[in-house]
Structure 1
Amino acid sequence: MDTRRAFANSLRQVRKARGLTQEDFSDISSRTYLSTLERGLKSPTLDKVQALAETLSIHPLTLLAITYMQLQKGKQLSSLLELVSREIHDLNIKASQE
C-alpha cells in the first residue's frame, strides 16, 4: 500500500468513526474533492490536512499516525510514537517561540 492509499483509508475510517458524511466537510472542501482524497486519487496539502483534522476534531498528527500505522503493518502505535519522540529529541528541535 502506498502513502496516498493509506491516507485515504485513514481519512475514511476516522470520518466514519466520527459519524460524519462527506457533506459535513462542505465548509472546507467540496464533496467531490473529499471523495478523491478518500479514493487515494489526490494528496492533500498540509493546510488541508489541518482543516480536515479540525473538522474531524482530532490533531493532524493523529490522522498521520493512523496513516503510518497502516503503512507499517504490525507496528504498534507506541513504537511509532517512541520513534518520533526519539528522532525529535535527537535532532534537538525546540518549539518555536514566535
Structure 2
Amino acid sequence: MKTPPKNRFSRALRTARAARKISQEGFGEVSGRTYISQLERGERQATLSKIDDLATVLAVHPGSLVLLSYLPDRPTPDAVDRLLAQIRREALHLLAPDPAT
C-alpha cells in the first residue's frame, strides 16, 4: 500500500530516527516527545524551520529528510539515485540564467 502524502514525512522521520538510534526524547533540545510523536503519527506537520532542527539532531542535511519523504514505500538504491538525479536536473534548470534577460 502506498503511503499517503501527509504521512510521508512521518515515515521519513521514523526511518531516520531508527537509523540513528535516537529516541523521541533525544530531540529534547529542539522539541518535546509529544510533538515528535505527533509528527510521526501524521497528526502534525513540520515547518521548514522545524525540519532543520530535527535534521540537526539526526546529523543529516534537512534535504535528506525531505528526500526520504518522496521515496517509494520500499525504496531501493536505484530509486534514491533516480530521485536525486531528478532533483539535480530540476535545480540546475531553475538556477539557469534566463536568456531573455
**Equivalent in 37, 42, 45 of residue 44 of structure 2:** 42
**Equivalent in 80, 86, 92 of residue 83 of structure 2:** 80
What are structure 1's unaligned runs of at least 5 residues?
A: none
Partner amino acid for 1:65?
L
Count of paired positions: 94
Q: Deviations over 1:26-60 (max 9, x none)?
A: 11001000000000111100000000000000001
Aligned to 1:54: 56
Aligned to 2:31: 29
Tell whether the 8 Å contact from 1:3 to 1:71 is kept in structure 2 after alignment: no
Q: Secondary structure at the match of 1:5?
A: helix
Tell whether the 8 Å contact from 2:6 to 2:42 is kept in structure 1 after alignment: yes
Tell whether the 8 Å contact from 2:72 to 2:79 is kept in structure 1 after alignment: no
TM-score, normalised with respect to structure 2: 0.83
Q: Deviations over 1:50-74 (max 9, x none)?
A: 0000000000111111110036967
Aligned sequence identity (%): 35
Partner amino acid for 2:17?
R
Say if 1:91 and 1:72 are closer, same or farther in 2 by CA, change over 3 A. farther
C-alpha separation in 2, matches of 1:84 and 1:6: 17
TM-score, normalised with respect to structure 1: 0.86
Q: Give 1 or 2 for the bigger CA radius of gyration.
A: 2
Runs of 4+ in 1 over 4 A off after TM superposition: 71-75
**Equivalent in 22, 32, 41 of residue 20 of structure 1:** 22
